[in-house]
Amino acid sequence: MSHPFRTELQFPVSDRLGRVSAVLLRPPEARWLLVLAHGAGAGMHHAFMGTVSEELTKQSIGTFRYQFPYMQQGGGRPDPPAVLVATVRAAVQAAAEAAPDLPLLAGGKSLGGRMTSTAASQSPLRGVQGLVFFGFPLHPPGKPSTERARHLQSVTVPMLFLQGTRDKLAELELLRPVCSELGDRAKLHIIESADHSFSVLKRSGRTNDDVLQELSTTVAEWATPLGFPL
């Protein structure tokens, strides 16, 4: 298999917020481009973000992963939701310009996925045919609630939820009915023994590499019927 093409770039969020960094990773045989946002505590260079992007290229899915402004400035407390949502929209536009021949998916890890769905619930993300959540943060640890899922009813494109059975930010007895209420728009894929970071217990008999492969193949299989065959 040929090596994926990698390029680093920057794109503007707004005049006030300035520019943020992004990495485009595109395999030669790319069929999709996933606009991928990072989680609250680690940026686009986090090991999970890099490794899952590499795994996705093996499934003919390129990634456009990017920084939120607070992470661009060195980390700390996440930006207000309005800033995060504006960044999601700017990233989708930048990704479309970087690879205009590819259909788009969008989503992210934890907070990044939730902010992507929040943006999509307010108005459709142009060109985005589906949303992918790597660990949807349904509630804070130890505070079970479904309030963070209310906006999902306003999302009009298909959604894929990838969740571990040990994820303390999404109790499955709460997430399953949320996905059921979304009907055909939602698919929930459970990763046995995985936590919110998709790490698995040794006694599970699986490795973290096994999980990353499962995540990438699941995304590819889910994307196939969305309109652009893999």
Question: What are the beta bridge partners of residue 131?
Answer: 106, 159
Residues 60-90: pLDDT tens digits?
Answer: 999 999 999 999 999 789 999 999 999 999 9
pTM over 0.85: yes
Q: How many CB atoms lie within 10 A of CB 178?
A: 20
Whole-angstrom distance, CA of residue 186 vs CA of residue 131: 9
Which ranges in 109-205 belong to alpha helices (H)? 111-122, 172-181
What pLDDT is recorded for position 229?
A: 44
One CATH from 3.40.640.10, 3.90.1150.110, 3.40.50.1820, 1.10.10.2840 for 5-226: 3.40.50.1820
End-to-end CA distance of the chain: 16
Q: What is the largest CA-CA distance in the chain?
A: 51
Show the tokens assigned to 35.
């606009």
**Contacts within 8 Å (CB) and 24+ apart, 179-183:** 181/153, 182/152, 182/153
Q: Rg for the chain (alpha carbons), in Å? A: 16
Indicate if the pLDDT at residue 157 is higher than 90.
yes
Average pLDDT over residues 204-219: 94
Indicate if the pLDDT at residue 141 is higher than 60.
yes
Show the tokens assigned to 79.
């930006």
The H or E element that residue 84 is part of is helix 81-98
Confidence category of residue 230, pLDDT binned at 50, 70, 90: very low
